[in-house]
Each structure stands twice: as C-alpha cells, then as structure tokens.
Structure 1
Amino acid sequence: MGKITFHVDLDNRVKKDGTQNIQLRITQAKKKLRVAVGFSVQKIHWNDEKKEVRRTHPLHSQINNTIKSKLLEVERTYLKSQVTSRKVTASTLQKQLKKEIAGESFVQYSKLRAQQITNPSSRSACKSVLSNLDVYLKGKDLLFEEIDYDWIKDYERYLKKLSNATNTIYNNLKPLKASYNEAIKSGLFEPDKMSPWMRYEGKKAKSVRTRLTIEQIALLEKLNLRPGTNKFQAHNFFLFSFYLQGMRVSDALQLKWANIINGRLEYKASKTEKSRSKKIIQKAAEILNIYRKPRQKPTENIFPFLKDLKESQFADDVWRKKLERLPQ
C-alpha cells in the first residue's frame, strides 16, 4: 500500500473569523487525507517552520499539546502495524483520528469550539448555552451519536418547562446546531444519516420593542437635574445614545475623545466589530460640551461611568461583565 507520512499544517480555507483550521495531513501513495485537530488560529499565530502555534496565542500550550498527542498516537498505531504486519491505510488512520479528536463527545467538542470564539460577547453567550446544557445533562456526557431528532425535541420541551420564551429557546438551540454542523464540516464527525438538525425547525418570534414617543423624548430633554448626580449622568448618557441613532450601551460606555473626528463619531461596534461613522447633531454636541475639559486627552473616556477602569487590565469576559453592570 506504500509508506504513510504525517504532517501538520493549516487549512488553506480562511473562515469568517479570519482563522484557519489546524489539520493533520496523512499521505499514502500520493493520496492525501486531512483531519482537523479541533482548533483554528489566525495565520499570524502559526509557526510554519516548527509546525506549532506561536506563544502569541493565548491557548498555544493547550493547542500544541493536542497536536503532539494526536500526531504521536497515529504514528504509534502506524509503527505497531509495521511490526505486526497488519495492514493500516491512511483512511483507517483518518477515521481513528477523527474519533479520538472529537472523543465522540459533543459537549467536549463544543466547549473547545467556544474557547476559540474571538468576540467576547459571542463567546460568553455560547458558554452560557453550554452551561444550560450541563444542567440538563446533570453531569453526564453527550455523544454525537446520541443527538437525534427526538433528543432535540426533548431538550426543546425541557427549555419550555423552564418558562423560557420562544426566542430564548431558539437562542439556546442555535449554537448547538452550529457546533454539530461545524464538526461535520471539519471532518471530526460523520453522522450515519443526514444531520437531525435538517429535520428540526426552530421557531423564532418577532421581537416587539416598546419605543418612546417624540413627546416622551421631549419631556426627558426638559428635565432639570442637578449636575454631577447619577441621574444627571444617566440622563445625558441616554439622550446622547438616542441622538446617535441608538448606540449600544457597551459601545457608548467605552467612547473616548479620540472617537470624535471632524464633527463625526468614529468607532467600532463591539458586537459586530464593524466600523461605524455617525454625524454628531447639535443636541449631541451640546452634551459633549458638558464633559469637555481644557487640555482634554484623546485617550480619556467621554462619560465618567468607567472612571479609572481600563480594558487592558481585564480578561475579555471579565471586562464584558463589568460593562454589563454599568452604569450604576
């Protein structure tokens, strides 16, 4: 059948988040088979010469240990076959490796996948979903093979019994579906039949938002509050966000004077990581003048809620929780 060789490299396909899957390439008689090891990184974090993740990546030690472990396992299996004269093909090793990496555990795979989500908000939401799943499983594991249409419906009914709204149930099941399908796409798992998620139709209700009327906004504008009080700060903060077309609270909290450029507000939305540019209307400019000081530093926050807190002092998840508690 020919000699089998093993190499580690990055998948050529770049995912939406800018990362590439780390994969083990198994070659036999010019036939190449690939297996993703369960992690993906940006190319800047990959040392192609050493075939390992650079120290610049926060999970470099964990990922490199996983790579070495899986590579050692298939090499050991291959060498053992040579001694015992048992025929082992690249395809056999590929299937074995897929099973070992996924561990057949949907929970384990999903938690590893959640750690790789770069957006703090999305990562926290995914971890919350998996935490809810852990409660449902009562400490038991959940294998890929155990997830079928009936299991999905059972979990949906469980979420309903907890009095969760339709959209909450949808948001708890959506990440599980994405994780399951990602495992299939990356070659970590192959269902015997089509994905059970293909049969499941998740429901999402249209959100009904209560909006303030123009008259109510006018009343808020006329409020006469004592400067420096919490009510005064919250009042200005809300109106400024309203004048800027409804900025997210987390984005408005982190605004700095450097974001004010030529009469426009230039910033990057924390949830979507997309750049935003909005014209500062007169009423918003008047609020800015309340907080403007002589010799204003560009790095200073516009609003006082964060005080001396700096994002660089905290891990992403911790920083996000602090933002959620503000303003108080």
Structure 2
Amino acid sequence: MSSNAKIVLRKKSNREGLYPLAIRITKNRRSTYQYLGHYIELEDWDEKNIRVKKSNSNYKNLNSLLSLKLSEVNKALITLQSEKKDASANQIKKVIYSSANKSTFFELAEEHLDELESSEKLNRLSTDKAWVSFIVKFNKSKQLSFQEIDERFLKKLMLNLKTKHSLSETSIMNILVLIRLLFNRAIKQKIVNRELYPFGTDKIRIKFPETTKVGLNINEIRRIESLNNLSPIELHTRNVWLYSFNFAGMRVSDILRTKWSDFYDGRLHYRMHKNSKLLSLKIPEKVLKILDQYKDDKRSEDDFVFPELKKANLDNAKDVYNKRKTATKKFNNNLKSISKKAKINKKITMHIARHSFGNIAGDSIHPLMLQKLYRHSDLKTTLNYQANFIHKEADDALDSVINF
C-alpha cells in the first residue's frame, strides 16, 4: 500500500492554548507525526483548505513553510517508492528526517505518546504523559534540544522533582528512564551525537531504590474470608480480591476480562493483557464458589464473569481502560473498609493479592514454578520478587547466633 503525507493541526494544545502544526506520514493506515515547531490558535486553521487563515498575522510565512516542508516529504516518499523500499510510517519518517537534526526533546516525546496511544498501551500512556508534564514544568518551555540535556540539567531536574514536587525516588528514576529512552531514540535518528549521552557509570546513573513488598499471611486471609458483615459492594470486592489471590495474584486487567467461555475442562484458559502470554490454571474450589455467585447474571458463554466491563465499548480501548481504572479505584477504597472489619493493620489493595500469594509461597515452591504462576518473562524477575518474602534462612541464622 502506498504512503502519503499531509499537513495537519494536532488537537493537543500547549500551556498557552496554542496547537502544533505537523506533517502526518501514513503507511498501511498507521500514522506518525513530524512536528514543525510552530503553534497557532485553533480558529486560525483552515481544515478544508489545509492552510493557516489570514487571521493569523504570520499566515503567509507559515503557509510558505508548510508548502516547502510538505514538498520535501513528498519528494522523499517518491524516492523511497522508486527504490522499492517498503517501510513502516515510523521508518519512513526516520529516513526523511535522519539528516534534519532539528527534532526537539518534546517533539520526540509527543511521538512516543502518540505511538503508545496508537498501540492502545493506555496505562503506560497515562504514566508517561504525567512524567513528560513534570519535565515541561521544570523547563518552563517546550523548546528543549537534546544537546541541552546534560548531566547538569538532569541533576537540577532531579533536585526540582524531589524538593518542589515531593516525588519519590522511584518516580524520579522512572522519569530518567523515559528521558534515556527518548535520548537513545534521538541518537538512532542522528538528532544528537552519542558523545553527548548523559547516562552511564561515570555520569548520571539510574538506580531504583529497594522497595518493600508486604503481603497478608494465612491468618489474615482467613479473617477476610470469614467476614459476614459486608455490604453488597464489599462482598463483590472481596470476591474479586480472593479470585485474584487464588489465581496466584492475577492482575485486575485480566480479572475483569475473564469470560465464562474461558473456563473449560476444569481449568481457566486466558491470555494476559500485559504481554499476551497464554496461561492455563486449575480452577481452585474456592474460585468455583465465587463463580457460583455470578451465574445468575450470565447472559451467554461470551459474557464477562464480573460486571465492570459489561457495558464497555470493547472497540474503544480508552473506554475499556477508563472503566478498568475506575473499578480498580473503587475496589481499593472498599478494601480499606474490609481491612478494618477484618482488623488488619496492613494496607490492602488489589495488587496486595499478588504480594500475599508470594508471601505465603515463601521458599516452599520452586522458582521455576513460581515464574510460571506469576507469568514472569525472566526467572531473575521472579527471584528478585520472591526475595521480598523469603525470611526463614535469615531468621534461622539470626537465631543460631543470639539464642545462647
């Protein structure tokens, strides 16, 4: 399928309420955008004729620039086509702009966010969009070249994030990871020289702090299971939480997507939303009792087990994401009242179901089996995760010294 380019006004305003002009490059119905570094009022854009209106004082120069840039891109597209080079929209863009060296940090950030949105990675999109906004606030402008992002810039940014915004060390490291990702992309596109790379052993190091993972113990889970004074919404929340725990800490996004058709031959068969891995697990007796409570609402085998996504537009990833996000927030709020009724002092969230499984598993299950149950891609991830819950050897070592 042939590729094409078009001048567009992106409907994402900056802090001043102005909208960016860009060239949209499309191939096989997938698009990427090259921002031109100019912003105008929404009312100044002629959508029909694809040009800046006379109401903008600089319309002549802007329209001349748009024509020139579009012509350059179209010439490059014709050259690629004549050379029979098949490439994606992003690859075409890299070829066209590889020698331009004009893209700014925030232009590549917008490109990154657009790609996340196009691939429907909405959870990552929401997080990275927030990280970008912190960098914009620090820089006080969207004009930032990669050459300006040196060690001094990053150290000042880290201090600003800690003192002015009170971000945790983990959040600050995540922002640096995003900057590093975009810097590497800029190097590949020859926007900046590798010699200016500000990360490394003797430069800015990205090191995440150790985190404490706290899970419930068997006695605490039994207290939750035995509660008989729950409201209907608390009862539903408990069911979802216990469903997660009994399936080795199944994630909320997978729980809410569970359909009746996923259960057959005494097993749950599902594909993980996070990494598309297929998994098959035996249905525990406790889960069968939970499922019995929802059978009266079953409309067909393709119906969702739990109600949160039943009214979602499944063709609209944003609608599904928003309903899942809202449901998770409600679950976590309900778990606060459930923990009080169960007289548990630990913080309980949906994700704590996963930690609780790990806590009870301890070192009694082989790491390779835990890797399968956790659906981790790398055994090292499982070992690092489970290290939070293995204490027996350290406790025995301590006792061997002090018990005299």
TM-score, normalised on structure 1?
0.68
Contact residue 312 and residue 320 of structure 2 kept, 8 A? no
Q: Please report how far the alpha carbon of residue 242 of structure 1 lies from its aligned counterpart in structure 2 after TM superposition.
A: 0.7
Quote the residue 1:54 is aligned against: 28
Q: Are residues 1:325 and 2:329 paired?
A: no
Quote the residue 2:37 is aligned against: none
RMSD: 3.4
Q: String of CA shifts for 1:170-199, please: whole Å, max 9, x gaps.
A: 1111011011102212x3323262411232
Q: Are residues 1:163 and 2:162 paired?
A: no
Distance in 1 (CA, whole Å) between partners of 2:284 and 2:242 is: 12
Q: String of CA shifts for 1:108-132, please: whole Å, max 9, x gaps.
A: 1121122113222223222221122
The one-letter amino acid of 1:103's match is K
Q: Please report how far the alpha carbon of residue 74 of structure 1 lies from its aligned counterpart in structure 2 after TM superposition.
A: 6.4
Contact residue 268 and residue 280 of structure 2 kept, 8 A? yes
Contact residue 120 and residue 317 of structure 1 kept, 8 A? yes
The one-letter amino acid of 1:110's match is A
Quote the residue 2:133 is aligned against: 131
Q: Are residues 1:238 and 2:236 paired?
A: no
Decide whether aligned partners of structure 1 residues 282 and 195 sit closer, same or farther in structure 2, where only a CA change above 3 A counts. Answer: same
Distance in 1 (CA, whole Å) between partners of 2:95 and 2:236 is: 60
Distance in 2 (CA, whole Å) between partners of 1:294 and 1:156 is: 51
Distance in 2 (CA, whole Å) between partners of 1:251 and 1:69 is: 47
Contact residue 187 and residue 194 of structure 2 kept, 8 A? no
Distance in 2 (CA, whole Å) between partners of 1:196 and 1:112 is: 22
Decide whether aligned partners of structure 1 residues 39 and 214 sit closer, same or farther in structure 2, where only a CA change above 3 A counts. Answer: farther
Partner SS state of residue 197, structure 1: coil
Distance in 1 (CA, whole Å) between partners of 2:255 and 2:103 is: 43
Decide whether aligned partners of structure 1 residues 151 and 226 sit closer, same or farther in structure 2, where only a CA change above 3 A counts. Answer: closer
Decide whether aligned partners of structure 1 residues 271 and 294 sit closer, same or farther in structure 2, where only a CA change above 3 A counts. Answer: closer
Distance in 2 (CA, whole Å) between partners of 1:120 and 1:200 is: 29
Q: Please report how far the alpha carbon of residue 211 of structure 1 lies from its aligned counterpart in structure 2 after TM superposition.
A: 0.9
Q: Are residues 1:207 and 2:211 paired?
A: yes
Distance in 2 (CA, whole Å) between partners of 1:294 and 1:323 is: 19
Distance in 1 (CA, whole Å) between partners of 2:194 and 2:177 is: 22
Quote the residue 2:113 is aligned against: 114
Quote the residue 2:383 is aligned against: none
Q: String of CA shifts for 1:8-65, please: whole Å, max 9, x gaps.
A: 8xxxxxxxxxxxxxxxxxxxxxxxxxxxxx999xxxxxxxxxxx5123x3x37x58x9
Distance in 2 (CA, whole Å) between partners of 1:99 and 1:153 is: 30
Q: String of CA shifts for 1:120-154, please: whole Å, max 9, x gaps.
A: 22232222211222222223411111111111111
Partner SS state of residue 269, structure 2: strand
Contact residue 114 and residue 127 of structure 1 kept, 8 A? yes
Distance in 1 (CA, whole Å) between partners of 2:233 and 2:95 is: 61
The one-letter amino acid of 1:152's match is L
Quote the residue 1:98 is aligned against: 98
Distance in 2 (CA, whole Å) between partners of 1:264 and 1:179 is: 43
Moved more, 236-245 or 102-111: 102-111
Distance in 2 (CA, whole Å) between partners of 1:128 and 1:113 is: 13
Decide whether aligned partners of structure 1 residues 294 and 130 sit closer, same or farther in structure 2, where only a CA change above 3 A counts. Answer: closer
Q: String of CA shifts for 1:187-238, please: whole Å, max 9, x gaps.
A: 33232624112321112012212211100101111112568x1111111111
Moved more, 318-327 or 153-162: 318-327
Q: Please report how far the alpha carbon of residue 324 of structure 1 lies from its aligned counterpart in structure 2 after TM superposition.
A: 1.1
Contact residue 225 and residue 231 of structure 1 kept, 8 A? no
Q: Please report how far the alpha carbon of residue 310 of structure 1 lies from its aligned counterpart in structure 2 after TM superposition.
A: 3.0
Partner SS state of residue 279, structure 2: strand
Contact residue 111 and residue 130 of structure 1 kept, 8 A? no
The one-letter amino acid of 1:98's match is S
Decide whether aligned partners of structure 1 residues 108 and 299 sit closer, same or farther in structure 2, where only a CA change above 3 A counts. Answer: same
Decide whether aligned partners of structure 1 residues 215 and 157 sit closer, same or farther in structure 2, where only a CA change above 3 A counts. Answer: same
Distance in 1 (CA, whole Å) between partners of 2:282 and 2:131 is: 38
The one-letter amino acid of 1:189's match is I
Quote the residue 2:261 is aligned against: 258
Percent of aligned pairs sharing the same letter: 25
Decide whether aligned partners of structure 1 residues 234 and 188 sit closer, same or farther in structure 2, where only a CA change above 3 A counts. Answer: same
TM-score, normalised on structure 2?
0.56
Distance in 1 (CA, whole Å) between partners of 2:254 and 2:297 is: 24
Partner SS state of residue 293, structure 2: helix
Decide whether aligned partners of structure 1 residues 103 and 275 sit closer, same or farther in structure 2, where only a CA change above 3 A counts. Answer: farther
**Unpaired stretches in structure 1, ≥5 consecutive residues:** 1-6, 9-37, 41-51, 76-93
Decide whether aligned partners of structure 1 residues 230 and 196 sit closer, same or farther in structure 2, where only a CA change above 3 A counts. Answer: same
Contact residue 256 and residue 302 of structure 1 kept, 8 A? yes
The one-letter amino acid of 1:107's match is F
Quote the residue 2:150 is aligned against: 148
> What is the aligned residue count?
257
